[in-house]
Amino acid sequence: MFHHEYKPLAPKPNSTEPVPVQPVKHKYFFAMNLYNNQEIIPHIIQELLRLFEYLGPQNIYFSLYENGSVDSSKPILGMFKIILDKLGIRNTIVLDEEEKPRNIHRIEYLAKVRNEAIKPLETENSDGRIYDKIVFMNDVVFCRNDILELLYQSEHQKSDMTCPLDFDVDLENKKGIFFRDVWVARDLSGYLFYKHLQNIVLHQESMERVKRNLPFQVQCCWNGAVVLNAKPFYEPTKLRFRRSKIEYNECSASECSLMCNDFWQNGFRRIVTVPRVLLPYELEHFKLLDNHYRLDPIPSPKEEKIRYLDGPETVWCFGLEKNDTKDPDQPAIQVKYTTNGTKVT
């Protein structure tokens, strides 16, 4: 269950006045990459429009970079741009014919297309428009309230990164749903998240919060969607997605893992996972959530509030070094991820 803030305000009895809209404090930059996603794009469009209506079109910029799709993604997204323009929502939708090159490192390529999605930050900045939060979404299936809950927790926890849990489904072996983003997510012990949603982290204090369905602090997460503090994407820090620094023998982690590490290095260290937000990648997997949603009473803000701890000294890294390879191909090693300690303030 999510927070009551997301319910529409009810009109006064017998009133002909329009229902007031709650003021939104922040400016939000939404970024997406899509590729051959024709099955889920109509649902994504529907929920984005509901979300933008709630937040207010004047508070939104939407940027999407698609390239190389051979299904109906391009024409559907072209129609979406027409809708956004008509609604007065500032946007950039790039439909690129360029396909993924051969013999390229996966993370180098993913970093490139993610940076394309946030490129309008620069032109907006030049025009005097600064955004408070970046909402970066993969090709996940979500409802409006999923993203609103992440935005709420981002504000309530004063976090620099705020993530859901994404999941896959094992229908063949009838094992239900399991956590997906194990390559990226790390708990406060520096260890990988487990796949089992009810026993997902090694760090004991975090696990106690998971049992109560409360947000918990982590070293890193992405998990299909993330609300980012936008400040480090501007000068003087100006972070961007990247692959590992080969010249420094940096472990060849995901571009999302490296973004977490760069956040830590630059003092943006409050990273939170919200277990009540569960996101699949296929529409038919939505129905499986009925067995996993918990109808607990909504916890009080005080109960939800995270007491931030210092980060782990090291994290486990599984490197991906070969080109044209999807999965990590190197043995796990423990690595330091900052040069200035892991204290969280």
The predicted pLDDT at position 174 comes to 60
Element (H, E) at 60: strand 60-67
Whole-Å CA distances, 323 to 60, 103, 134, 328: 37, 6, 30, 11
The predicted pLDDT at position 13 comes to 47
Question: What are the structural domains, with CATH classification, of the chain?
Answer: 22-335 (3.90.550.10)
Confidence of residue 25 (pLDDT cuts 50, 70, 90): confident
Confidence of residue 23 (pLDDT cuts 50, 70, 90): low
pLDDT in tens, 119-163: 999 999 999 999 999 999 999 999 999 999 999 999 999 999 999
User: What average pLDDT does range 37-42 have in this prediction?
Assistant: 98
CA 110 – CA 67 distance, rounded (Å): 12
User: What average pLDDT does range 42-68 have in this prediction?
Assistant: 98
Confidence of residue 9 (pLDDT cuts 50, 70, 90): very low
* Beta strand ranges found along 242-310 (DSSP E): 271-279
pLDDT in tens, 207-221: 999 999 999 999 999
Which of 340, 336, 202, 215 has its CA nearest to residue 277?
215
The predicted pLDDT at position 19 comes to 40
16 pLDDT above the threshold of 70: no
Confidence of residue 173 (pLDDT cuts 50, 70, 90): low
CA 296 – CA 304 distance, rounded (Å): 13
